[in-house]
Structure formats: C-alpha cells, structure tokens
C-alpha cells in the first residue's frame, strides 16, 4: 500500500509482525511499518471481525490497535519501533490474557 523513500542504512532495526521478521527505521511508528506490509490490514474489529488499517496516524481513531510484546491494545501510531519488538495483529476482541 505504502513504500519507504529511502534506505534507513545504519538506523535499520528488525521487528516481528505475527512472527515474520520485517525491517524498519528506528524511531518510526509501528503503524507506518504495518502500512508498508503486503497484508493490507492491521487488526480485525471486535463486532464483525472486518479488517481495519491505520486511518488517522495521530492517536484519535484507534484503528491501529496492536499487541506489542504481549501487551494488548496499544496504539501503533503512537508507539515507535524498537529492535526485536514483537507485534501481533489484534484479531477481534482483545483476549483477557493479553
């Protein structure tokens, strides 16, 4: 859907989205990285399980909710990537254990 204009070079980090290794630039948001993945969606809704993707990128729409290192319902657009971070697409309702 989206592409990055430059090669981040030494600022490159690796994060894992649903277990798949993905490269990103240190400091950019999880939501930005997710919009560059071939899978167009980043969560499914809790009511009808329809796919959603980041919409506002500034913290007001809550469409980019993801689980990070086991912690659920974080706003991907407000969370910068960290090397080794494990991101899970949130599917349906957030489970009690997350």
Partner 1 sequence: MTAPHTDLLIVGAGPAGMAAAVTACSHGLSVRVVDDQPAPGGQIWRAIETVASTPRLARLGQAYRAGADRARAFRSCGAVYEPQSELWQIEPGFRAFLTRDGQARSVTADAVILATGAQERPVPFPGWTLPGVLTVGAAQILLKTASTVPERPVWIAGCGPLPLLYMTQLLAAGGQIAGFLDTTPRGRASAALRHLPAGLRRAGELAKGLAWSLALRRAGIPIIRHVTDLRAEGDGRVERLRYRTEDGREGEVTAEVLLVHEGLVPSIHVPLALGCTVEWHPAQHCYVPLLDGWGETSQANLFVAGDGAGIGGAEAAEPRGRLAALRVATRLGKLDAVRAERAAKTERAALARALALRPFLDTLYGPRAQVFAPADETLVCRCEEVTAGALRARAVEGRPGPNQLKAFTRAGMGPCQGRQCGYTMAHIVAAAQNRKVEEVGFFRIRPPLKPVTLGELACLDQREPAA
Residue placing its CB nearer to partner 1 in the complex, 21 or 47: 47
- Does 59 engage in binding with partner 1 (CB under 8 A)? yes
- Does 48 engage in binding with partner 1 (CB under 8 A)? yes
The site string for partner 1 over 8-47 (x = CB under 8 A, - otherwise) reads -----------------x-xxx--xx-xx---xxx--x-x
Which two three-digit tokens encode residue 79? Answer: 């969370």
Residues 6+ apart with CB under 8 A from 5: none
- Does 56 engage in binding with partner 1 (CB under 8 A)? yes
User: Phi and psi of 90, rounded to 5°?
Assistant: -85, 125
Structure letter (DSSP) for residue 1:
-
């Amino acid at each position: 859907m989206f592409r990055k204009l430059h090669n981040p070079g030494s600022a490159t980090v690796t994060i894992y989205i649903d277990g798949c290794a993905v490269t990103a630039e240190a400091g950019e948001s999880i939501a930005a990285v997710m919009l560059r993945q071939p899978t167009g969606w980043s969560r499914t809704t809790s009511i009808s399980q329809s796919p959603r993707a980041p919409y506002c990128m500034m913290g007001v729409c809550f469409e980019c909710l993801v689980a990070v290192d086991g912690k659920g319902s974080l706003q991907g657009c407000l969370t910068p990537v960290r090397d080794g971070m494990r991101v899970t697409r949130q599917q349906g309702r957030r489970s009690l254990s997350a």
